[in-house]
Structure 1
Amino acid sequence: MPTVIVTGTGTEIGKTVVTAAVAAAAVAGGRGVAVLKPGQTGLAPGEPGDAAEVVRLAGEVTGVELARFPEPLAPATAAARAGAEPVRPGEIAEAAEKLAAEHDLVLVEGSGGLLVRFDETGATLADAARLLAAPVLVVAQAGLGTLNATALTVEALRARSLTPLGVVIGSWPAAPDLAARCNLADLPEAAGAPLLGAVPAGAGALDPAEFRARAAEWLAPELNGTWDAAGFTDTFQVPGARPGR
């Protein structure tokens, strides 16, 4: 997988921290990694964005940001309000392909969810994924409401003949409630795709050295980690719930 698209089921669910964890685990495995942020919104020039945060946490990673718009809106709306050219799928694919020629793994982190619009034509991250023929990693919430959002995201991927690589929980709470515990077993069924990790809440606040040392613990072997989905699910097993798998 030279290129992986990272999307979320919504905003503020830990997508950037998951991207950093995947990057850190890959770097620890000896791979050259780049992260591409097509459209950064909600930040002024000079402020560190998501790509810079991945580099800060993951270490020896190439970070690239294609465009930045100051208002915290969908990229298409933010670009229009700023009077700037939007980022288009072809540009995203071209940038990712150039990075892939020089790196073993390129992580393309979207903005918000899969179908957030990037330009006035309605183009989305899914269109870039199709141009790249890249699998898509879905970052989901832990608790109530995540099953529907995750299922809808994966359904949208499959409707576009895109491959869902799997699901990672972006912020696993220290004291998970009943819904979160049940969702460990229910998420893979709702998505029809494997659960590939659970990043603990607050991981992004760790010292970068500790973050890099621990990243593999949060991710499954498919993402260069050591996390065991069945064992993790069994730890939080709810009596009467469906068994983990």
Structure 2
Amino acid sequence: MAVVVVSGTGTEIGKTVVTAAVAAAAAGGGRRVAVLKPAQTGVAPGEPGDADEVVRLSGAALGTELARFPEPLAPATAARRAGMAPVRPADVADAAGKLAAGHDLVLVEGAGGLLVRLDEEGTLADAARLLDAPVLVVTTAGLGTLNATELTVEALRARGITPLGLVIGSWPEAPGLAERCNVADLPAVTGVPLLGAVPARAGALDAADFRARAGSWLAPELGGSWDAAAFAEAVR
């Protein structure tokens, strides 16, 4: 896979840290990785954004943004309020395609959920469809995740987009009953494999430790050694 789109079931669920973990596993395996953030919102000029954080944690070769909008809103809304041109799905597909020509893997990290608007008409799903790229879905562990995750996967399939797998973006240190049950229920209700669980606060690790541990959070399909069946049994 030259390009993988990383989306999620909502905002603040760990997409950036999951993207960094996938990038770290790939870079650790000798692959040249680029990270593309189509629209960064709510970050001041000169302040590190999500792509910068992925590079810092993972050692990816390149991190880049297509646009930055000052207010922490959906990209289309943030662009409109700032009087700036929005990012279009075609812009994302063009940029990712160019990056893929010089890198082994391009990770495109969205903003918020799959259907958050990039411009007045298009979403990250539209960019994924133009790229013919699979989408890695980052989700939560607790109550409410089954409905949100299944809806996201259904939206992908309705658009002819391949859901690559699911990753829990923030696995708690002390999971409750819902979290433990959802490890088995998430792949069962979506028909999509669970490909990892990133520990809560993994993004606070120093870069060297993060890179050393990233593969243990991800399944072999994402370049790691995490075993879904063994994890489910351990937390059952």
1:179 maps to what in 2?
178
CA drift of 1:59 comes to 1.1
> What TM-score do you get using the length of structure 1 for normalisation?
0.96
Matched, 1:72 2:72: yes
Aligned to 1:124: 123
CA–CA separation in structure 2 for the residues paired with 1:177 and 1:46: 40
Deviation at 1:69, TM superposition (A): 0.2
Distance 1:7 1:204 in 2: 18
Aligned equivalents of 2:215, 2:178: Cα separation in 1: 25
**Equivalent AA in structure 2 for residue 49 of structure 1:** G
**Contact 2:3–2:107 (CA under 8 A) maintained in structure 1:** yes
- Which residue of structure 2 aligns with residue 2 of structure 1? 2
Q: 2: distance between equivalents of 1:43 and 1:185?
A: 37
Residue 191 of structure 1 deviates from its aligned partner by: 1.6
CA RMSD, aligned part only?
A: 0.5
Paired residue for 2:209?
Answer: 210
Deviation of residue 104 (structure 1)? 0.4
CA distance in 1, matches of 2:8, 2:214: 19
**Residue 216 of structure 1 aligns to which amino acid in structure 2?**
G
Correspondence list, 1:1-245, <5 A: 1-120=1-120, 122-237=121-236
Check the 8 A contact 1:38/1:109 in 2, yes or no.
Answer: yes
**Alignment check: 8 A CA contact 1:51 1:64 kept:** yes
User: What are the ranges of 5 or more consecutive residues in structure 1 without an aligned counterpart?
Assistant: 238-245
The amino acid that maps onto 2:203 is G
The Cα offsets for residues 24-60 of structure 1, whole Å up to 9 and x where unpaired, read as 0000111110000000000111110000000010014
2:177, 2:60 → 1: CA distance?
A: 38
Alignment size in residue pairs: 236
Q: Give SS of 2:138's match.
A: strand
State the Cα deviation string for residues 156-193 of structure 1 (Å, max 9, x = none).
Answer: 00000000000000000000010000000000012210
Which residues of structure 2 form unaligned runs of 5+? Answer: none
Say if 2:56 and 2:207, in contact at 8 Å, map to a contact too: yes
Contact 2:75/2:86, CA 8 A, preserved across alignment: yes
Deviation at 1:107, TM superposition (A): 0.2
Answer whether contact 1:23 1:61 (CA < 8 A) is retained: no
C-alpha separation between the residues in 2 aligned to 1:164 and 1:37?
Answer: 19
Residue aligned with 2:111, SS: strand
Identity %: 76
Q: In the alignment, which residue of structure 2 is the partner of 1:241?
A: none
TM-score by length of 2: 0.99
Give the SS at the match of 2:110.
Answer: strand
